Amino acid sequence: MSFKFDDDGIVKEFHGNTIICHIPQQTEFFNRLLDFYRFAKRLSFYDKITLLPSSSYHVTIMNCCHEHDRSKGHWPEGLVSTASISECHEHLAQLFRNTKYIGDERGSAGFELKVHISEKDMQPASKPRSINVVVKPSNNVEEARIKQLRDSISTLTGLTDPSHDSIKFHITLGYINEELTDSEVKELYQKLEELHQVLDENCPLVMLGAPEFVTFEDMFYFHLLTLL
Q: Is residue 8 part of a domain?
A: no
Tally of domains within the chain: 1
CATH number reported for the structural domain that contains residue 43 in this entry? 3.90.1140.10
Q: Is residue 11 part of a domain?
A: no
What pLDDT, in 10s, does the model give residues 143-159? 999 999 999 999 999 99
Q: Is residue 6 part of a domain?
A: no
Q: Is residue 7 part of a domain?
A: no
Residue 89, pLDDT > 50, answer yes
Q: Is residue 218 part of a domain?
A: yes
Detail the DSSP E strand segments found in the chain. 16-22, 49-51, 58-66, 112-115, 130-137, 169-176, 205-207, 212-218, 221-227
Of 2-11, 25-34, 115-124, 152-161, least confident by mean pLDDT is 2-11
What pLDDT, in 10s, does the model give residues 35-60? 999 999 999 999 999 999 999 999 99
Q: What dihedral do alpha carbons 194, 197, 199, 204 form, nearest 10°?
A: 160
Which is more confident, 159 or 163? 159
Q: Is residue 74 part of a domain?
A: yes
pLDDT level of residue 118 (50, 70, 90 thresholds):
confident
Mean model confidence pLDDT for the chain: 89
Residue 138, pLDDT > 90, answer yes
pLDDT level of residue 99 (50, 70, 90 thresholds):
confident
Q: What is the pLDDT of residue 218?
A: 83
Which is more confident, 14 or 16? 16
Residue 11, pLDDT > 60, answer yes
Q: What is the pLDDT of residue 1?
A: 46
Q: Is residue 216 part of a domain?
A: yes
Give the number of residues written for the chain. 228
CA distance 188 to 36: 10
- Residue 124: CB atoms within 10 A of its CB come to 9
Residues 6+ away with beta carbon under 8 Å from 195: 32, 33, 35, 36, 133
CA distance 52 to 33: 12
φ/ψ (deg, to 5) at 58: -160, 170
CA distance 228 to 215: 14
CA distance 136 to 171: 11
Q: Is residue 176 part of a domain?
A: yes
Radius of gyration of the chain (CA): 18
Q: What is the pLDDT of residue 221?
A: 87
Residue 107, pLDDT > 80, answer no
Look at phi and psi of residue 138 and say left if phi exceeds 0, alpha if psi is from -120 to 50, else beta.
Answer: alpha
Domain containing residue 159: 16-227
CA distance 83 to 63: 19
